Structure 1
Amino acid sequence: MTTYTARATRDNDRYWLVHIPELGHYTQARTVSEIETMARDLIVTLKGLEPDAVDLEVDIQLPGTAQEHLERVETLRTQEAEARRAAAAEARAAAAELKRAGLSLRDIGKLLGVSFQRASQLTSDV
């Protein structure tokens, strides 16, 4: 199976220009979601292949520093997920310690800022 590359750049304010360098041909797409479909269609039409016989890598060239912003978004989302996991572990540890200290589920919930039902879930293993 041959791998093709679809390089998409914003042509004007209306279309994405999609270049297939292995073929030296171009096509257009109106939206990002159409880029792969249009590139694949061009390849199968020119090469006479079945659509599932084409391995396609899409490379979208973004304007300005947009790619840097998107990479930063991904980094921050990863950090957010890690922070949420750490916070959940700390909440479970605090709830367990408070339960062992004899506090009620309502008090534990109030101290943790959760419902007493959630406090019960957090302490179910204690």
Structure 2
Amino acid sequence: MAHEYKATARREGKWWIITVPEIDAVTQARHVREIQTMADGVVTAMLDLDEGEATVTVSIEMPANAKEAWEEAARLQAQSEQSSQRAAALRREAVRNLLTEAQLSQSDAGALLGLSYQRVQQLAKTV
């Protein structure tokens, strides 16, 4: 069974500094794509293990300002998707109200809403 280690990579200047606290090891990488390889390499070298005898899980620390912007964008996107779903539900409700309560034809409902009668028909059929 492979030994398991946790490593952390953080940006310092032009380098990614990779630390493996369990074995007090530090290495570096120039690019994100190299981090896992370097982490695996430092563990196997420090412990004199064969390849595959250790599993290294790396967590990469994103720079704070980029992380905050990314998380805010994700939050706003989730809100936008919820708003879009709510807007779609309200459109369906408006169409159903015009067709049932106001007893308008699909053509007349479409004219009032700026939609084709085909789109009105689609909205009326969706749940």
TM range (shorter): 0.5 to 0.7
Identify the residue that residue 70 of structure 2 maps to in structure 1.
70
Map 1:50-61 → 2, pairs under 5 A: 50=52, 54=55, 56-61=57-62
**TM score, norm. by length of structure 1:** 0.66
Residue deviations 1:52-103 (CA, integer Å, cap 9, x gap)? x73625131415x332222222221221111111111111111211222333
Structure 2 residue 43 is the aligned partner of structure 1 residue 41:
no
Greater radius of gyration (CA)? 2
SS in 2 for 1:54: strand
Give me the whole-angstrom Cα distance separating, in 1, the residues matched to 2:38 and 2:109.
57
SS in 2 for 1:102: coil
Change (3 A) 1:86 1:28: same
Identify the residue that residue 28 of structure 2 maps to in structure 1.
27
Identify the residue that residue 7 of structure 2 maps to in structure 1.
6
Give me the whole-angstrom Cα distance separating, in 2, the residues matched to 1:11 and 1:37.
17
**TM score, norm. by length of structure 2:** 0.66
Sequence identity (%) = 30
Give me the whole-angstrom Cα distance separating, in 1, the residues matched to 2:38 and 2:118.
52
Contact 2:40–2:56 (CA under 8 A) maintained in structure 1 = no
Letter in 1 for 2:80: E
Q: CA RMSD in A?
A: 3.3
Give me the whole-angstrom Cα distance separating, in 1, the residues matched to 2:51 and 2:117.
61
SS in 1 for 2:125: coil
Letter in 1 for 2:118: Q
How far has the Cα of 1:36 moved from its partner? Answer: 5.6
Map 1:103-122 → 2, pairs under 5 A: 103-109=104-110, 111-112=112-113, 114-122=115-123
Give me the whole-angstrom Cα distance separating, in 2, the residues matched to 1:123 and 1:89.
11
SS in 2 for 1:7: strand
Q: Which runs of 5 or more residues in structure 2 are unaligned?
A: none
Identify the residue that residue 87 of structure 2 maps to in structure 1.
87
Give me the whole-angstrom Cα distance separating, in 2, the residues matched to 1:39 and 1:108.
65
Contact 2:109–2:117 (CA under 8 A) maintained in structure 1 = yes
Q: Which runs of 5 or more residues in structure 1 are unaligned?
A: none
